[in-house]
A and B are shown apart, each in its own frame.
Chain A
Amino acid sequence: MKLPLYEVFVRSKRGLDHKHVGSLHAKDGAQALKFARDCYTRRGEGLSIWVVRSSDIVASQEEDAASFFDPSDDKPYRHATFYRIPPEVKNL
């Protein structure tokens, strides 16, 4: 039997985002949670775990990055450092 793949996200601390830590095979979500606990949080790494079927994740392809992200590459004015503010002006 081929078990589906799950991606595992762990929140290490309240207030922080869940962060991707890896993946595993399990028969369903409940089992994936238990496996993720045993596999990825053996040293108290997490307070909360999310598991998501890998097949449910829609991802962009890194090979396409150049054209995919192109629209923002030529927009330096989206960064605060683009604007020249005299050093004597504070809190801007």
Chain B
Amino acid sequence: MTDDHLSNTEPEAAFQERVDNEIKIEPKDWMPEGYRRNLIRQISQHAHSEVIGMQPEGNWITRAPTLKRKMILLAKVQDEAGHGLYLYSAAETLGVTREDMIGALHEGHAKYASIFNYPTLTWADVGVIGWLVDSAAIVNQISLQRTSYGPYSRAMIRICKEESFHQRQGFEILMPLASGSLEQKAMAQDAMNRWWWPTLMMFGPHDSESVHGAKSMQWKIKRKSNDELRQDFIDQTVPQAEYLGLAIPDPDLKWNEERGHYDFGEIDWDEFRTVVSGNGLCNRERLERHSRAHREGEWVREAMRACEEKKRTA
């Protein structure tokens, strides 16, 4: 990874100057190999997260409590597929192929958001995913609208615009539950208890531990650090939880007047590492399901090729 090191060669200096001046980098521009690699890694992981993220919610489509909720959930899961496609396409402008990216996912070289390795046990989980998980994703994605790479930035702008319904539908699922019967309220609180900490883990390791962090900030691939984004998310979410009357499962959570932010407890980083390294509750199931769908779809691709061939030779 020696070429990740910032050297003062001329094109690299010109590149950095462009980035420093908030001028977007476009696909045909010269860019350091490290920048390209870093972007491919981040954008493809982001794409995989959108697509794998369809599974935990898709799990509830047939069991949504009303037709209205079912239609909304279908539309949301369909959006996630679309967002995955925008992002794969943005990554492809960097010279990587879709097959390479899917291959890396199936072989376990490419990661996706650790949050999607947790199971959705109740209907309240669907509400909490929309509210917490999508809010966390939006906090991250809003800052990525200003990423230095043009195609990634444009994909983020489009995604953010579409995604605002996702968090609102989640909150709207939780409002009646949180003010409903004792059982409904308990179900909402249970979902909150299980999803709060994994949601905080979505922002990744502390800045001091983040492997790609410093370089990504210097190149403005990322615009805010993991810890800054996590704090933004907590600050905006605590009042929402208070409105719902749901307790946040963190005894150390407390408003800090001096900092103007909420203080919060330490994340269980052992759990984070376990899930990221492939040993969470649903890692194998998620990957296996994705591989299987890909394999089982082969006949469709084959049929399309055969049809094309027939047309050409007719």
Q: Which residues of A contact B (CB under 8 A)?
A: 11, 14-15, 17, 48, 75, 77-80, 82-86, 88-92
Contacts and interface: CB of A to CB of B under 8 A. Distances in A.
Given A77-B71, A80-B168, A92-B171, 9 more contacts: A14-B23, A14-B26, A14-B150, A15-B153, A17-B154, A75-B71, A85-B171, A89-B239, A92-B135
B172 interface: yes
A72 B165 CA distance: 15
B150 A89 contact: no
A83 B75 CA distance: 14
B94 interface: no
Contacts of A15: 23-24, 150, 153-154
Contacts of B167: 92
21 contacts: A14-B23, A14-B26, A15-B154, A17-B154, A48-B26, A75-B71, A77-B71, A77-B72, A77-B169, A80-B165, A83-B165, A83-B169, A83-B171, A84-B172, A85-B172, A89-B239, A89-B243, A90-B239, A90-B240, A92-B135, A92-B240
Nearest to A13: B24
Interface of B: 23-24, 26, 68, 71-72, 75, 79, 135, 150, 153-154, 162, 164-165, 167-169, 171-172, 236-237, 239-240, 243
Contact of B165 (A79, A84, A90): A79
Contact of A77 (B26, B135, B165, B236): B165
- The DSSP consensus for interface residues of chain B is helix
Contacts of B237: 91
Given A75-B71, A88-B243, A90-B236, A80 B26 contact: no
A17 to B, nearest CB: 6
A34 to B, nearest CB: 18
Contacts of B169: 77, 83
Contacts of B162: 78
Contacts of A11: 26
Contacts of A88: 243
- The DSSP consensus for interface residues of chain A is loop
A82 B237 CA distance: 21
B165 A78 contact: yes
Nearest to A78: B75
A29 B88 CA distance: 28
Interface centre among A11, A14, A15, A85, by most chain B C-beta atoms within 10 angstroms, is A15
B19 to A, nearest CB: 11
Contacts of B154: 15, 17
A15 B236 CA distance: 29
A83 B163 CA distance: 13
B75 A91 contact: no
Contact of B240 (A17, A77, A82, A89): A89
A85 B24 CA distance: 36
A78 B135 CA distance: 17
A28 B162 CA distance: 39
B26 A83 contact: no
B16 to A, nearest CB: 15
Interface centre among A48, A75, A77, A90, by most chain B C-beta atoms within 10 angstroms, is A77
Nearest to A88: B243
Contacts of B243: 86, 88-89
A82 B171 contact: no
A24 B104 CA distance: 43
Nearest to A47: B26
B164 to A, nearest CB: 4
A69 to B, nearest CB: 15
A88 B240 CA distance: 9
Interchain residue pairs A-B with the least CB separation, the first 10: A15-B24, A83-B168, A80-B164, A91-B236, A14-B24, A80-B165, A83-B172, A77-B72, A89-B243, A78-B75
